[in-house]
Amino acid sequence: MIADFVPSSELTPPGPGRTLSLHPSSALAPSSMPQTTIYVAPRLAGTLGTIPPAVATVELARLFGRSAALAGVSLTVEMGRTVALLGANGAGKTTLLRILATAIRPSYGSVSIDGIDALQEAERVRGRVVYLSHATGHYDDLTAQENLRFAATMFGWGEREGGEVAREALATVVLDAVSGQRVRTFSAGMRKRLALARVLVARPSLLLLDEPHAALDGDGMTLVDELIGLWREAGVTVMVASHQAERVTSLADATVRLEAGLLAEVGGAGVTAGPVGGSPRPRMAVAGTDR
C-alpha cells in the first residue's frame, strides 16, 4: 500500500461528493480531516462532463524470462465500479494488480489510473491506490493500535484525527479488544483483519484486493463482503482478485476473467475491453526501465 496521497481537489469532479466513512453515523466532519485525504465522488451518470476512467490499460504485457504473465490486456474500468477479477492460479490476476499499484512495471503497453500515466507519474498514482496483497506487511513488534497510528501518520492524518480513525477502524474489523497486543501474537486471520483496518485508515480512490477472504473464518469473510459494499457505496473503485467466483461476483458490478495472461471474458457494467483473447501486439516497450 502507498502512503502519499495527492490533494483531494485534484481528484474530485465538480459538484457534490462524499467521503468514505467507517460508520455512516460517525463520519468525521471534513474540517477535521487532513488536507490530503481523498474525497471520493459517488458514481457519475455522465452529467458532469468527461470523467477519466479509474483504470485504463492498452496491450499490457509482463514477461518473466520467456514466460508471459500478462500477454496483451486492454481494459477500461469506470470510476466507482467494483470488479471481480477471476481466473485460475497463474492466470495473471496478481501481476495485473501489482502493475496497477505501480509495484512492478509492465514489459510492454500503457496504463493510467484516474487519467494519470502510471509509467510517467508513478508517485501521483501511488497517492490514489491501496493494494492489499497476500503479505499483510505489519510491524510485528508494534501493537495493532501502534501499527494503525503509524499508518494514519503516513496517510496524512494529524495526531488527534489519526488516533480517532485508527480506533474506529480497529472496532470495525473487531480488533478493538486486542488493540494493545503486539502483532507478533496475532493469527493469520487477525493479521488480515488488521490489514483491512489499514485500508479503512487510508481511504483510497482505487482499491486493489488480492484474495481478501483468504485466512479468514466465516465471520471474517462476511466482514470483507460488508466492507466491499461500504467502499462501493462510497464510490471507491474496487478490483477484487479471488478464486471464490460466486462470492465476489455477487458483490461486483462487472467481472473480468483472465486465462494464461489474456482476457477470456468481460461482462457487466462499467468495464470495457479490447479484443478478448488473441495474441498481444505490444507497441510501447518499457522493459529495462524499472526504477
Whole-Å CA distances, 211 to 5, 52, 116, 281: 24, 27, 26, 30
Domain boundaries, the chain: 51-128+205-285, 139-203
Instruction: Give the HSE-up count for residue 137: Cα atoms under 13 Å, Cβ half-sphere.
Output: 16
Long-range contacts of 148-153 (CB under 8 A, 24+ apart): 148/194, 148/197, 148/198, 148/201, 151/3, 151/198, 151/201, 151/202, 152/201
pLDDT, tens digit only, all 291 positions of the chain? 443 323 232 332 223 333 334 433 333 433 333 333 333 433 443 444 578 999 999 999 999 998 999 999 999 999 999 999 999 999 999 999 999 999 999 999 999 999 999 999 999 999 899 999 987 789 999 999 999 999 999 999 998 999 999 999 999 999 999 999 999 999 999 999 999 999 999 989 999 999 999 999 999 999 999 999 999 999 999 999 999 999 999 999 999 999 999 999 999 999 999 755 444 444 333 333 333
Report d(CA 138, CA 122) in Å as an integer.
24
The CA R_g of the chain, rounded to the nearest whole Å, is: 18
Q: Looking at residue 125, what is its pLDDT?
A: 94
Q: Looking at residue 138, what is its pLDDT?
A: 93
**Coil vs helix vs strand at 228:** helix
Q: Looking at residue 52, what is its pLDDT?
A: 92
Task: Please write the tens of the pLDDT for every residue from 211-253.
Answer: 999 999 999 999 999 999 999 999 999 999 999 999 999 999 9
Q: What kind and span of H or E run contains 170?
A: helix 159-172
CATH architecture under which domain 51-128+205-285 falls = 3-Layer(aba) Sandwich (3.40)
**Coil vs helix vs strand at 50:** coil
Whole-Å CA distances, 64 to 67, 213, 278: 5, 28, 20
Supply φ then ψ for residue 155, to 5 degrees: -90, 5
Q: Looking at residue 275, what is its pLDDT?
A: 56
pTM: 0.79
Q: Looking at residue 134, what is its pLDDT?
A: 80
